[in-house]
Amino acid sequence: MEVCYQLPVLPLDRPVPQHVLSRRGAISFSSSSALFGCPNPRQLSQRRGAISYDSSDQTALYIRMLANSEIEVSVSARNVRRLLSFQRYLRSSRFFRGITVPNSSNILDDDYNGQAKCMLEKVGNWNFDIFLFDRLTNGNSLVSLTFHLFNLHGLIEHFQLDTMKLRRFLVMVQEDYHSQNPYHNAVHAADVTQAMHCYLKEPKLSKSLTPWDVLLSLIAAATHDLDHPGVNQPFLIKTNHYLATLYKNTSVLENHHWRSAVGLLRESGLFAHMSLENRQLMESQIGDLILATDISQQNEYLSMFRSHLDRGDLCLENANHRHFILQMALKCADICNPCRTWELSKQWSEKVTEEFFHQGDIEKKYHLGVSPLCDRQTETIANIQIGFMTYLVEPLFGEWARFSNTRLSQTMLGHLGLNKASWKGVQREQSGSGDDVDATFEEMDSDILPQEPRLS
């Protein structure tokens, strides 16, 4: 059926009545069953991009609230068909209003300036500065880095990929990240992809991985937070967001990231030359990787990992075992910020806290109940980081170092220890004690964790 955008005429100065919230989303996913079975690319492109508008849509409300500036949607945009995700819709609305959007032309290898090229030569270094790389590539770090890695790993040749389709796919991926999110944006995705590359190079993995494994790993890393709205799952649930309903309040965001990635893969036709069977397998395995980044499932993955390590029965000749390790690798890549150098790690900490606090501000404004770690009046970066490191990062990286006891693992654990000590120093200088937040991490139900201590 025809799915249309309507103007987000929203009462931003008062809470949305419950009866309005409960009506939301009825149109948006009325054809959702077509997503995975529909061979018609035109229909597929209409389906892709689940963050939608309609006049009673809470999504529109919170996205407007999240935006730093008011989004004015012209009358001419009223009937724009729902071809695109929110990000691409926003661009098209700017187009209608005659506002120039910075172009993404600076993405070709030949256009890299010397410094960006120079950086790519060291893309496997753990101290790779993704923020600098993003500036040098004019905000195209995800496209530039992922394309380079595809080349470096020989994937273009091996899978006979059309480089124009590959670039188109990567540009769409990058554009579907929300650049206004302080944390969950394309730079985070590029950072996770770079970390994943570092893990794929580790001796235990590199000698066993097939090109197929590497392909899936890089695509999953690049798309693992696609179209992230900048708020966490509990927020979507308590605002009755249609994605929460669609995915039955379970791994809501991760499912959405995955389905969004599948939409772009199909739309780009990047693997159209492969058999249907292989494409379906690819979509399914990418899903397994992305869904593993749901931090509420961390204990299950970690205890499985620990059991394998205790028994010493991991056999990387076995494809299932390899894919399990790739899930663990992606989980590590996703929450590796505290394992980077202090200069990089501190920037990530500030960004993720800004996103949490922004959500908290919205929750306060609309009397939604402030989520744990999201209250800027009571929380501090230091407290949040120490809790995050203690209860989520250290256990995961401790096991990873058991699996892959390499110089990289020791480097990561070294930074983790130093960064934690630095935050404890900051904490001591501040008047409040960190005990309360530590307790929050320890006691909180995993599915009420904010999104990036569920850092996916």
Q: Which residues are annotated as a binding site for AMP?
A: 184-188, 225, 334, 385
Question: What single-letter DSSP state applies at residue 251?
Answer: S
Q: Which stretch binds Zn ion (CB under 5 A): 169-177, 221-229, 260-268, 364-372?
A: 221-229
Stretch that binds Zn ion, among 20-28, 89-97, 132-140, 219-227 (CB under 5 A): 219-227
Annotated catalytic residue 184? yes
Q: Are 182 and 355 in contact (CB under 8 A)?
A: yes
Smallest distance from Zn ion to CB 270, Å = 22
In angstroms, give the least distance from the CB of 43 to Zn ion: 30
Contact 195, 148 (CB under 8 A): no
Cα–Cα distance for residue pair 411/375, rounded to 1 Å: 33
Q: Annotated binding site for Zn(2+): which residue ranges?
A: 188, 224-225, 334
CA 397 to each of CA 174, 212, 288, 410: distance values in angstroms, whole numbers, following the listed order: 28, 25, 20, 10
User: Which listed residue (178, 184, 241, 415) is catalytic?
Assistant: 184
Cβ closest to Zn ion, residue 6 vs residue 146: 146
Binding site feature residues:
184-188, 224-225, 334, 385
Nearer to Zn ion, 31 or 250 (CB): 250
Give the contacts of 27 (CB within 8 A, at least 6 positions apart).
Answer: 3, 4, 52, 54
Shortest Å distance, C-beta 61 to Zn ion? 24
Rg (CA), the chain: 21
Q: Which letter, b or e, does each residue of 64-74 get, where b requires 16 or more Cβ atoms within 10 Å of its Cβ?
A: bbbeeeeeebe
Count other C-beta atoms under 10 Å from residue 160's C-beta.
9
Nearer to Zn ion, 263 or 453 (CB): 453
Residue 456 makes contact with Zn ion by CB under 5 A: yes
Q: Is 4 helix (H, G, I), strand (E, B) or coil?
A: strand
Least distance in angstroms from the C-beta of 74 to Zn ion: 33
**Binding Zn ion by CB under 5 A: which of 54, 294, 334, 447?**
334
Closer to Zn ion by Cβ: residue 174 or 456: 456
Interface residue with Zn ion among 134, 176, 191, 225 (CB under 5 A) is 225
81 DSSP β-pair partners: 4
Chain residues binding Zn ion by CB under 5 A are 225, 334, 456
Positions marked catalytic: 184
